[in-house]
Structure 1
């Protein structure tokens, strides 16, 4: 997902979402890459797309075991 999608879903400012995603990436919970949008409304626009890492699955597994 990219920042705008997450921002809309959560009803928070993009700036705040970006800050927290950068922090999560710094600590290995998410990874990102830059892509060019193919969506008709934003075709050609550069986007930074994020996804969770296996570290998140590990943390969720630990929480479930509690």
Structure 2
């Protein structure tokens, strides 16, 4: 499987998979947009706040 970034970031490469079905499965996963998770996942910068909140809730 060969791939390249459609956003023109310059990322590209290739990889061999054991079967064509495996290559297809990975290609579909890479092409998927994460629109279903919008609003459910906090940005990485909020990780310390999420950890603090989890720690506080656990103490209760």
Same fold (TM over 0.5): no
Q: Which has the higher contact order (CA 8 A, sep 6+)?
A: 1
User: Which has a greater percent of strand?
Assistant: 1
Structure possessing the higher radius of gyration over alpha carbons: 2
TM-score, with length taken from structure 1: 0.28
